[in-house]
Copies of this chain bind each other. A is one copy, B any other.
Amino acid sequence: MTAPSTAEATRARIADTAEALFRSMGYQKTAVADIARALGMSPANVYRFFPSKSAINEAICTRLLSGISARIEAEAEGAGTAEQRLNALTHELLKACLEVFFTEKRMHDMVAAAMEEHWSSITQFLDRLVAALRRCVADGMASGEFAPGDPEQMALVLKVSLLAFYHPQLIEDCLNMPEPSPDLAQSLDLTLALLVAGLKRGLR
């Protein structure tokens, strides 16, 4: 007999167990019945806390992506010029994505599935990414490092133009390329250099 736990603690326990199963069996192959069995619960009990397997996935994705968001935000709030912080932020993003998506292929599959279904965890992640980018851009515009402009608009442009460095499918495509695989970090350096040159000149 375990001590009665709060709903929040039970939700966390279900998510932990589901995450372990997703990592070992893969996201598609894990059923709610497997999660319940590993917890010594009935599936009905799991469903009391999560209405569907998809809701469990979303909770796990949210945790995972929140961790990446926190790392990005730390870089956005760090020391240095706006350009240096954009560099640090985007390289941290690429590094986190490579770690999560590729050292743990199963997690990659889970996030890729989340992206297809536009779960709210993805939307939150993108919102936090845009906010971190906007912070650097706005600071650069305020200090005169960048030309005057609309920080939100420019942050959205950066989000779109840097997709190759954080979208799981694009990273996977890139790493699977038959030719000598492009160096993602080097390609990010050049891409960001051009975008920063654009921010310095401004749209006029």
Contacts and interface: CB of A to CB of B under 8 A. Distances in A.
Interface of A: 115-116, 118, 123, 153-154, 156-157, 160-164, 167, 169-170, 173, 176-179, 187, 190-191, 193-204
Contacts of A169: 169
B157 A115 contact: no
Contacts of A199: 194, 197
B198 A157 contact: no
Nearest to A196: B198
Contact of A157 (B163, B179, B194): B194
A160 B191 contact: yes
A116 B168 CA distance: 13
A197 B201 contact: yes
A173 B203 CA distance: 28
Contact of A170 (B154, B167, B196): B167
